Amino acid sequence: MDLVSVGTVTDGTLPVVLRGEIDFTNAAQVREAISTAVAAQRPTAVRIAMAEVAFLDSSGVGVLVDAMKSAWEVEASFRVTDPTPRVYDQLRIAGLLDPFGLA
């Protein structure tokens, strides 16, 4: 199972799907995949689907923050979609619901 699937831009939106456990063991790989795709495709919106993420540690949260920064660098909007209840709680505690479009 791939941890990250990055689609191609359609209607200006770059779809990204994260799966499994996003943690310190794989955060660099996921971060690189997202930032490379954003820089290459220059979308107007980046959407990170999280419905299949079972676990997210602080490194995983960092991946999302870096993805948001990559989106801003190309002047794209950024949103996290469909987080599991556990991931939602982690993002709420971190104060990231508003920046990630979840509030």
Mean pLDDT value across residues 33-45: 97
Chain segment 3-25, per-residue pLDDT in tens: 999 999 989 999 999 999 999 99
> Which residue type does 86 have?
R
Strand ranges, E, within 1-103: 4-6, 13-22, 45-56, 77-81
Whether residue 1 has pLDDT greater than 70: no
Angle at 31 between CA 19 and CA 80, to 5 degrees: 55
Residue range 4-93, CATH number: 3.30.750.24
Domain boundaries, the chain: 4-93
Q: pTM for the complete prediction?
A: 0.94
Determine phi and psi for 17, rounding to 5 degrees: -115, 125
Q: What is the DSSP letter of 76?
A: -
Closest CA to 62 of 32, 27, 38: 27
Report the b/e string of 46-66 with b at 16+ CB within 10 A. bbbbbeebeebeebbbebbbb
Percentage of residues in the chain having pLDDT higher than 90:
96
